[in-house]
């Protein structure tokens, strides 16, 4: 009998939310309290190979060349078990994953990671799923991963059904819609963060007195952001994105105990962005669950902003990104 090779490799881009997802209504199914909008990034990606075999007796995971254990291995194993829910026989797998940027530093490594794992994993199992199905499954690994399945500009619709079957991402505009829109990702620290976004969200929902205020303005932010994207209105996009990020961080700062992802370098960059704007160079910042600041600007101002930011002492590195494409399968395997 010829054994079918149960192996596949996928590459997925990371995404940065322009209107953030922060807080879950159901943490087992990863159902959010609010919808979110993101841009998929062409220059931050994760490549993952998954191979299932009857001969394997455990899951084996390597991330960026290092064997992963503990919580990290458990999350991936749970996800691959989930992908096999409808299979008659459960198999273990070898998984190798490589990202071109530091993980767990607030650069959405779990977004590209779980999107690539879902696409490679389902393909290796012989399943050919729709983008909606892939988005729903990726969401179960990491909420933001639901958006990394798609390219360009993406909305993750929060949904209202209890089983989560209507909580998935859809594309607002494809990546070619607005190629001039640029994001300068500044790297201030590559240390892994102490509070995961999962723990941070849960603490915020439970203890921040501002969480309801966050939810009160979110749907209006989502609507305005979608308009800004479709009409390529950079000023509206930047204003909403910056204000939305600050509102999210305000909910974190007011939890008990407080969650402060900002480092002094983060603040220096945020102030530099405000200064550039005062001087007439239009740019805006956004931040996630980590110290890195992402600057939104237009292609014509990229060089000016890049050189100003590079001059700041606390900036270790910068990565320039533009809208990127959807997750895809590739022929070259990592092992
Ligand atoms: O799904 P997670 O665990 O990667 O959480 C993402 C949280 C934020 O990055 C802060 C916001 C977002 O929408 O990506």
- Counting every residue, how long is the chain? 335
Sign of CA dihedral 223, 227, 230, 233: negative
290-320 pLDDT per residue, tens: 999 999 999 999 999 999 999 998 898 999 9
Nearest Cα residue to atom 4 of ligand 1: 144
Q: How far does the centroid of ligand 1 lie from the alpha carbon of residue 23, in Å? A: 9
The pick from 18, 111, 196 for probing ligand 1's pocket by mutation, whose C-beta has the most ligand atoms within 8 angstroms, reads: 111
Confidence of residue 88 (pLDDT cuts 50, 70, 90): confident
CATH code 3.30.70.890 region(s) in the chain: 181-321
Q: How far does the centroid of ligand 1 lie from the alpha carbon of residue 22, in Å? A: 7
| pLDDT for position 70 | 94
Q: Which residues pair with 66 in a beta bridge?
A: 63
Q: Is the pLDDT of residue 256 over 80?
A: yes
26-61 pLDDT per residue, tens: 999 999 999 999 999 999 999 999 999 999 999 999
Q: Is the pLDDT of residue 220 over 80?
A: yes
| pLDDT for position 105 | 60
| pLDDT for position 194 | 84
185-200 pLDDT per residue, tens: 999 988 877 899 999 9
Q: Is the CB of 34 under 6 A from ligand 1?
A: no
| pLDDT for position 308 | 96
Assess contact for 74 and 116: CB atoms under 8 A. no
Q: How far does the centroid of ligand 1 lie from the alpha carbon of residue 157, in Å? A: 14
Q: How far does the centroid of ligand 1 lie from the alpha carbon of residue 206, in Å? A: 17
Fold for the domain defined by 181-321: Alpha-Beta Plaits (3.30.70)
Confidence of residue 2 (pLDDT cuts 50, 70, 90): low
Nearest-angstrom CA–CA distance, 295 and 116: 26
Residues 6+ apart with CB under 8 A from 146: 135, 136, 138, 139, 156, 167, 168, 169
Q: Is the CB of 204 under 6 A from ligand 1?
A: no
Return the beta strands (E) in the chain as ranges: 7-19, 24-26, 31-32, 36-53, 60-63, 66-67, 92-99, 153-157, 168-173, 181-187, 284-287, 293-298, 317-321, 328-330
Arithmetic mean of pLDDT over the chain: 95
Alpha helices in 52-180 (DSSP H): 70-83, 109-124, 131-141, 145-148
Nearest-angstrom CA–CA distance, 319 and 187: 8
pTM: 0.96
Confidence of residue 330 (pLDDT cuts 50, 70, 90): very high
73-87, 102-116, 203-217, 224-238: segment of lowest average pLDDT? 102-116
| pLDDT for position 5 | 84
| pLDDT for position 143 | 97
The residue-averaged pLDDT of 151-156 equals 98
Q: Which atom of ligand 1 is nearest to the CA of 143?
A: 1
The pick from 113, 197, 249, 266 for probing ligand 1's pocket by mutation, whose C-beta has the most ligand atoms within 8 angstroms, reads: 197
| pLDDT for position 237 | 98
The residue-averaged pLDDT of 132-149 equals 98
Assess contact for 142 and 113: CB atoms under 8 A. yes
Q: Which atom of ligand 1 is nearest to the CA of 289?
A: 10
Q: Which atom of ligand 1 is nearest to the CA of 16?
A: 14
Percentage, residues of the chain above pLDDT 90: 91
Nearest-angstrom CA–CA distance, 272 and 307: 12
For residue 208, what are its two tokens? 């921040």
Q: Is the CB of 140 under 6 A from ligand 1?
A: no
Q: Which atom of ligand 1 is nearest to the CA of 36?
A: 13
Q: Is the CB of 116 under 6 A from ligand 1?
A: no
The residue-averaged pLDDT of 15-29 equals 97
CATH code 3.30.230.10 region(s) in the chain: 5-175
Q: Is the CB of 290 under 6 A from ligand 1?
A: no
Q: Is the CB of 33 under 6 A from ligand 1?
A: no
The residue-averaged pLDDT of 62-71 equals 94
Q: Which CATH code, of 2.160.10.10, 3.30.230.10, 3.20.20.140, 3.30.70.270, is assigned to 5-175?
A: 3.30.230.10
For residue 168, what are its two tokens? 């998935």
| pLDDT for position 242 | 98
Q: How far does the centroid of ligand 1 lie from the alpha carbon of residue 67, in Å? A: 25
| pLDDT for position 104 | 61
């Amino acid at each position: 009998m010829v054994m079918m090779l149960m192996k596949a490799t996928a590459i997925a881009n990371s995404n940065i939310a322009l209107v953030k997802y922060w807080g879950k209504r159901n943490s087992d199914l990863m159902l959010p309290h609010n919808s979110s909008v993101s841009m998929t990034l062409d220059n931050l990606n994760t490549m993952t190979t998954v191979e299932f075999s009857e001969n394997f007796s455990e899951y084996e995971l390597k991330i960026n060349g290092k064997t992963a254990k503990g919580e990290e291995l458990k999350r991936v194993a749970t996800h691959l078990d989930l992908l096999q829910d409808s299979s008659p026989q459960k198999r273990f797998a070898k998984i190798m994953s490589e990202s071109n940027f530091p993980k767990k530093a607030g650069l959405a490594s779990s977004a590209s990671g779980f999107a690539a794992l879902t696409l490679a994993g389902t393909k290796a199992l012989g399943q050919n799923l729709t983008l909606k199905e892939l988005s729903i499954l990726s969401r179960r690994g990491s909420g933001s991963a639901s958006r990394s399945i798609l390219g360009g500009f993406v909305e993750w619709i929060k949904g209202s059904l209890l089983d989560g079957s209507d909580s998935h991402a859809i594309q607002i505009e494809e990546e070619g819609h607005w190629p001039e829109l640029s994001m300068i990702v500044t790297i201030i620290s590559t240390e892994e963060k102490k509070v995961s976004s999962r723990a941070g969200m849960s603490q915020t929902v439970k203890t921040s007195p501002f969480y309801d205020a966050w939810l009160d303005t979110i749907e209006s932010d989502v609507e305005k952001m979608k308009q800004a994207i479709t009409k390529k209105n950079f000023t509206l996009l930047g204003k909403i994105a910056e204000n939305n990020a600050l509102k999210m961080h305000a909910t974190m700062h007011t939890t008990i105990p407080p969650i402060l992802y900002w480092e002094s370098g983060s603040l220096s960059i945020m102030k530099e962005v405000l200064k550039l704007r005062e001087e007439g160079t239009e740019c805006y910042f956004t931040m996630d669950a980590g110290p890195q600041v992402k600057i939104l600007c237009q292609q014509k101002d990229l060089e000016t902003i890049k050189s100003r930011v590079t001059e700041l002492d606390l900036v270790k590195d910068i990565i320039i990104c533009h809208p990127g494409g959807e997750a895809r399968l590739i022929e070259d395997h990592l092992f």
